[in-house]
Structure 1
Amino acid sequence: MAIVLGPNRYGKAETRVVRVVREGGTHHIKDINVSSALSGDMEAVHLTGDNANVLPTDTQKNTAYAFAKKYGVDEIEDFALLLARHFVDSQPAIHHARVEIEEYFWDRIPVAEGPDLGLRDEQHSFVRSGREVRTCVVHYDQDGGTSVVSGLKDLVVLNSTGSEFHGYIEDEYTTLKPTSDRILATEVSAQWRHRGDDSSSGRSGTGSFGRSYTEARQALLDAFADTHSLSLQQTLYEMGRRVLNARKEICEVRMAMPNKHHFLVDLEPFGMDNDNEVFFAADRPYGLIEGSVLTDDAPDAGYAWN
Structure 2
Amino acid sequence: MNAQIIGSDLLKALGDYLGYGAIGLGLGVAILSAILLLSRKQDSLATGSRYMMFGLALVVIGSALEMLKLHQANAASERAFIASQHLPDEFWGDFLLSRQQKLFGTSEPTDEYADGSLKDGEEKIFNILVPQDECRFFFAAVRPPAKIYASVAKGNVTYRSLRDKEYYKTGKICNLKGNDSQNAELKLHLSEGGQYSISAFKAAPDISVKQPAQQAPPLPPSMPSSPPLPKITKRFCTGEYEANCAGPHDAFFSCGNFGSDQEVAAQLCQGAPAKAVRINTKGGNKCGYTLTEVTCG
| TM surpasses 0.5 | no
The structure carrying a bigger helix percent of its residues is 2
Structure number with bigger Rg: 2
Q: TM-score, normalised by structure 2?
A: 0.22
Q: TM-score, normalised by structure 1?
A: 0.21
